[in-house]
Chains A and B, each alone.
Chain A
Amino acid sequence: MTTETRLVEVRTKILKQNDIAARALRARFRDAGVYVVSLVSSPGSGKTTFLEQTLRSLGGQSRVAALVGDLATENDARRLCRAGVPVRQITTGPVCHLEAEMVAQALDGWNLNELDFLFVENVGNLVCPATYDLGEQMRLVLFSVTEGEDKPLKYPTIFNTADVAVITKLDLADAVNFDRAAACQNIQAVRPGMQIIELSAKSGQGMEKWLQFLQIRAAIYHAPEGR
């Protein structure tokens, strides 16, 4: 450094704007009493099928809605609409992840007070979504039995930023010699203490347990002493 130059301190988070938007969303969700769950995973891990079954099951008793992110097409929104609940697609174009502001814009015109649960399906990507807070209360990371037990070790950051791991496509576990113990051990290595839920949205195995878990988490959130 020459004598002419000087170093000035600027202490700020780089994603300040996203953090501000996420904080505003979280406050909005809290005021409206809606429990927000986001889903991250690699493409093809079964996010949409899992979400469709979840929306169908919850739809009868609770007021639910979903936002789905993809680079292009409205295919997922069309698919999820079959569950009979409000669904909106967020097409991100060249952007490989959802940001809080995109979620805020997609909610435009929806009355959050009329919802109990909102699901936000991120773009299928195990890297980029890890960095962005969306104001959700619970972030699920899904990985299917066909992806290999070491997926968590290869993408530790996304597992580390998620709250719950969901192992999907359990109906295919035998066909691919899925090593359950190894998968769980790998999840624990990258996120010690992480809750793991195993299920098959296709056969329905484990779905009831997941829905119970979700209801309990939501009840804790709504309890006066909840966070």
Chain B
Amino acid sequence: MHELSIALSIIEVAEEEVRRRGDVQVLAVHLRLGPLSGVIKEALFSAYEMAREGTALEGSRLVVENVPIVAWCPACEAEVSVVAMHQLACSTCGTLTPEIVSGRELEFTALEIKP
């Protein structure tokens, strides 16, 4: 359960932004999360609920955009979706796809704030 550490890092980044922008209220934190980031969204939501208590983020919610796995297929010579996280093969032709284009994201993208 490393999602608590992740939630604390999110709060750290967000609090830094809040300090920088003066006295604002954070309504939501927007993230992008790929399946290969190693972070489970549901676990992150529960961890965030705990971690936000007593911080400037108290009362804020997490908005997570799921980033799909996209890989480069050497046979199709194109960026493709894959069969599954445990089957990194082109969903069109079945060729194994060593090169991951996206799906590892664990990124902070935006803050929804109220002045």
- Identify the A interface with B (CB < 8 A): 1, 4-18, 95-97, 99, 127-128, 130-131, 152-154, 156-158, 160-161, 188-193
Contacts and interface: CB of A to CB of B under 8 A. Distances in A.
B88 A11 contact: no
B108 A10 contact: yes
B101 interface: no
Contacts of A192: 88-89, 96-98
B109 A11 contact: yes
Nearest to B85: A156
Interface residues of B, number: 38
Interface of B: 1-2, 5-6, 9-10, 12-14, 17, 21, 27, 30-31, 35-39, 85-89, 96-98, 100, 106-115
Given A192-B97, A192-B98, A193-B98, A7 B2 contact: no
A-B pairs with the 3 shortest C-beta distances? A128-B2, A192-B96, A130-B38
B47 to A, nearest CB: 12
14 contacts: A6-B113, A14-B107, A15-B106, A95-B2, A95-B5, A99-B5, A131-B37, A131-B38, A153-B86, A156-B36, A157-B85, A161-B38, A189-B86, A189-B87
A109 B10 CA distance: 32
Nearest to B17: A10
Contact of B2 (A1, A127, A189): A127
B2 to A, nearest CB: 4
Contact of B110 (A8, A13, A127, A161): A8
Nearest to A128: B2
Contacts of A6: 112-113
A190 B107 CA distance: 23
B106 A14 contact: yes
A25 to B, nearest CB: 18
A157 B113 contact: no
Contact of B106 (A95, A131, A158): A131
B13 A16 contact: yes
A190 B86 contact: yes
Contacts of B37: 131, 157
Nearest to B29: A10
Given A96-B2, A161-B38, 4 more contacts: A157-B37, A189-B86, A192-B96, A193-B98
A156 B86 contact: yes
B111 A7 contact: yes
A134 to B, nearest CB: 14
Contacts of B89: 189, 192
Contacts of A157: 35-38, 85
Contacts of B111: 7-8, 10
Contact of A4 (B17, B107, B115): B115
A10 B16 CA distance: 11
B114 A128 contact: no
B103 to A, nearest CB: 9
A9 B110 contact: yes
Contact of A14 (B1, B108, B115): B108
